[in-house]
Amino acid sequence: MTAVAGDTVARPEQTDGAALRGKVAIVTGGASGLGRATALTLAKAGARVVVADLDARGGREVADMVGGHFRACDVSDPDANRALVDFTQEECGGVDIALLNAGVATGFGLGEDFDLARYRRAMGANLDGVVFGTHAVLPALRARGGGAIVATASLAGLAAVPLDPLYAANKHAVVGLARSLGPALAPENVRFNAVCPGFAESRIIDPLRDMLSGQGLPIIPAQVVADTVLRIVTGDGTGECWFIQPGRDPEPFRFRTVPGPGRLADA
């Protein structure tokens, strides 16, 4: 591992440019932030990339940068996810990697500010987008003899977030899905993991920038998250939730104190 001057967290060594040669990757939420950085990183490692987003202008720009394809996709719609996978198979011959990254902020709670429409939008992007994306891409991965899915969760999926409990609920659900689907899909050679960054460079943190700056909290560069996703898809782990925090090397969270079913009677 190496630290790069100017970064707020340690960054992994660059992976060999041929590491993903011949692989095809889908990146949802790929028009900006973490998705954009990861699309560029996967392409640099040799993958053909399909960028999916509702932001057509930004998505096409990234697709042009990586020499890939763009597809407009509302990840909260099951049919749109299936159409995205069909498009990728038609244009690229198959799918090997899916980064299910699209997400939105919530910004409200369960009191008088609760907004049902915004709640549905957040659940649709942050959780349904992972569920529907996984459901859509699994047949394509199986057709290739296996592959890798990475879902973007958050440190909010590993810790309590009193200021935004609904966002924490979304991300805890993604963490639970990763931990459960990892071993469930392993016999099919499909690996499912999650990446759990803290405050990282993306549109979601735009409303928080002044607060973070005022508290002296560093913002994690999007490239650090992208490098971590590359480590995950080129590794062999499954069911892991990789945390990314300032000042620490990214690694899987261990969940050491959680009792299993056989220990519940003794808890």
Positions marked catalytic: 167
Of the candidates 241, 132, 223, the one whose C-alpha atom is nearest the C-alpha of residue 176 is: 241
Question: How many other β-carbons are positioned within 10 Å of the β-carbon of residue 119?
Answer: 15
Q: Which residues pair with 188 in a beta bridge?
A: none
Q: Which residues pair with 100 in a beta bridge?
A: 151
DSSP labels for 35-91?
A: HHHHHHHHHHTT-EEEEEES-HHHHHHHHHHHT-EEEE--TT-HHHHHHHHHHHHHH
The dihedrals phi and psi of 155, each to the nearest 5 degrees, come to -60, -25
Rounded to a whole number, what is the distance in angstroms from the first to the last CA of the chain?
A: 39
* Strand order across the 48-53 sheet: 69-72, 48-53, 24-28, 97-100, 147-152, 190-197, 241-244, 251-252
Name the packing angle between helices 116-123 and 165-185 (round to 10°): 30
